[in-house]
């Protein structure tokens, strides 16, 4: 019930002072000094998925991030019956990569190495403190303030307040905004926005999705921060060392390794790097496009880029762009295909899979770059990112949970299993 208390003087008009009691949801900043950040990583009993994010596959195991909270460890020996084994509780986590038996993760601003040789008894084996202190690598819920030497994140808060209204001018009472927050009636929440599968690399590495910010090549781990390409030496697996930092500007989003090249997606384009010298990757070119969210995957001489609109993605069209990268110094657009709201994607040539957010998952035939066709679209699911394995096994994650499919027939994907999210 909306309670109104009017205080009016003279004639009733939009200049009169009127008040209303409003209950609204807002976000309040919380500041935590680097010295006070929780660095204890614990292994807990298996938990239900609540807000799944990035996915990573290593041997018969799946790793699924729970944005900002940790990582689910799943035994996927039988894709038809995946078994949730444990939960790695780690604050400020958003990404991961694996080489041999070492899982590398972000713990707020630290780069941490975890020994996963026994998935039922995971242990911290190394840590590079403040690895990301000056280059934000996060899951979208916090940012680093170098002047304060602290991280700042936002917590939801329900507030009941007495606020001014427009006194019912034109038959409508409020709401009005204070400090950028629009007041709503009781129980009406206000939503606010904050702020690769590649060719096999040397060593035994796993596979990440197209939304990944971490990837491994040879004895190096590469991290795409919001502004930089960060390079860490992992020759001694439990002792990562910072080796290089290449500034890329703003809006860097994803990293995709292909052979000895790195393809980096950003809000404004695709960067291509040569990493024949892994410690010193060299920029070859930058394929520019309208401002949009931009993951990328590559096969042979063709790169596939999805562009989508969104709160932080600009107003570019929702498209799949097919780019010729035969000459890595001069990439050019072959053709654009209209999409609905594309997110992550994957290529197992000629099979192309595109996650369309709330519009589901598309299986496409990419034999002809100028005539890519949709073979099947699975609707009524939310699709965020996808990883194809073994020419027939597809893993897809979205807001609804983690799905697995048999794509032996790309025209008729068959669901093998689903790990649903926890129902609130």
Q: Are residues 88 and 21 located together in one domain of the fold? A: no
Q: Is residue 230 part of a domain?
A: yes
pLDDT for res 68: 84
Q: Is residue 319 part of a domain?
A: no
Sheet containing 150-165, strands listed edge to edge, beginning at the edge strand earlier in sequence: 3-7, 17-33, 150-165, 142-145
Low-confidence ranges of the chain (pLDDT < 50): 1-14, 170-203
pLDDT for res 296: 95
Q: Are residues 25 and 56 located together in one domain of the fold? A: no
Q: Is residue 128 part of a domain?
A: yes
Q: Are residues 157 and 236 located together in one domain of the fold? A: no
Structure tokens, 349 = 């040539």
Backbone angles phi, psi at 144, to 5 degrees: -100, 135
Cα–Cα dist 204/57, whole Å: 12
Q: Is residue 16 part of a domain?
A: yes
Q: Is residue 417 part of a domain?
A: no
Q: Are residues 133 and 236 located together in one domain of the fold? A: yes
User: 3-class SS at 233?
Assistant: strand
Contacts of 383 (CB under 8 A, 6+ apart): 343, 344, 355, 356, 357, 359, 360, 361, 396, 398
Q: Are residues 177 and 209 located together in one domain of the fold? A: no
pLDDT for res 112: 97
Q: Are residues 123 and 232 located together in one domain of the fold? A: yes
> What pTM does this model have?
0.81
CATH number of the domain enclosing 57: 2.40.128.630
Q: Are residues 178 and 107 located together in one domain of the fold? A: no
pLDDT for res 323: 96
In 3D, which of 322, 317, 318, 286 has the Cα closest to residue 305? 322
pLDDT for res 2: 42
Q: Is residue 373 part of a domain?
A: no
| Domain limits for position 23 | 3-31+150-182
pLDDT for res 391: 87
Q: Is residue 171 part of a domain?
A: yes
Q: Are residues 212 and 178 located together in one domain of the fold? A: no
Q: Is residue 156 part of a domain?
A: yes
- How far, rounded to the nearest angstrom, does the alpha carbon of residue 252 sit from its chain's CA centroid? 12
Q: Are residues 14 and 104 located together in one domain of the fold? A: no
DSSP-derived secondary structure letter, 410: T
Find out whether 194 and 140 touch, Cβ atoms under 8 Å: yes
For the chain, the domain total comes to: 2
Cα–Cα dist 110/92, whole Å: 9
In 3D, which of 183, 194, 195 has the Cα closest to residue 25? 183
Q: Are residues 170 and 112 located together in one domain of the fold? A: no
In 3D, which of 365, 352, 253 has the Cα closest to residue 308? 253
Q: Are residues 130 and 51 located together in one domain of the fold? A: yes
Q: Are residues 49 and 162 located together in one domain of the fold? A: no
DSSP-derived secondary structure letter, 422: P
């Amino acid at each position: 019930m909306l309670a109104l208390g009017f205080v009016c003087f003279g004639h009733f008009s939009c200049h009169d002072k009127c008040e209303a009691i409003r209950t609204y949801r807002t976000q309040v900043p919380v500041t935590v000094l680097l010295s006070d950040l929780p660095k204890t990583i614990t292994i807990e009993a298996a938990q239900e998925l609540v807000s799944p994010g990035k996915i990573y596959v290593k041997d018969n195991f799946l790793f699924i991030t729970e944005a900002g909270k940790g990582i689910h460890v799943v035994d996927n020996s039988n894709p038809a019956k995946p078994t949730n084994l444990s939960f790695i509780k780690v604050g400020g986590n958003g990404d991961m990569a694996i080489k041999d038996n070492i899982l590398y993760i972000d713990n707020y601003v630290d780069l941490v190495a975890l020994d996963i040789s026994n998935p039922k008894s995971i242990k911290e084996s190394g840590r590079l403190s403040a690895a990301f202190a000056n280059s934000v690598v996060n899951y979208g819920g916090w940012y680093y303030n170098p002047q304060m030497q602290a991280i700042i994140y936002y917590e939801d808060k329900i507030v009941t307040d007495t606020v001014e209204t427009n006194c019912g001018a034109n038959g409508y009472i409020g709401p009005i905004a204070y400090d950028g927050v629009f007041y709503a009636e009781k129980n009406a929440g206000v939503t606010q926005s904050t702020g690769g599968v590649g060719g096999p690399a040397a060593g035994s590495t796993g596979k990440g999705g197209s939304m990944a910010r971490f990837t491994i090549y040879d004895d190096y781990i590469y991290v795409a921060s919001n502004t930089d390409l960060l390079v860490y030496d992992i020759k001694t697996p439990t002792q990562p060392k910072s080796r290089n930092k290449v500034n890329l500007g703003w809006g860097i989003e994803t990293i995709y390794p292909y052979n000895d090249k790195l393809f980096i997606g950003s809000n404004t384009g695709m960067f291509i790097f040569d990493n024949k010298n892994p410690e010193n990757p060299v920029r070859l070119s930058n394929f520019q496009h309208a401002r949009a969210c931009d993951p990328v995957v590559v096969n042979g001489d063709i790169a596939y880029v999805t562009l989508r609109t969104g709160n932080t993605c600009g107003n570019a069209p929702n498209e799949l762009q097919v780019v010729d990268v035969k000459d890595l110094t001069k990439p050019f657009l072959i053709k654009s295909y209209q999409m609905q709201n594309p997110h992550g994607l994957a290529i197992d040539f000629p099979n192309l899979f595109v996650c369309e957010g709330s519009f589901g998952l598309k299986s496409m035939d990419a034999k002809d770059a100028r005539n890519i066709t949709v073979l099947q679209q699975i609707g009524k699911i939310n699709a965020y990112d996808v990883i194809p394995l073994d020419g027939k096994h597809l893993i897809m994650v979205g807001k609804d949970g983690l799905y697995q499919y048999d794509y032996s027939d790309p025209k008729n994907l068959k669901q093998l299993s689903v790990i649903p999210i926890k129902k609130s």
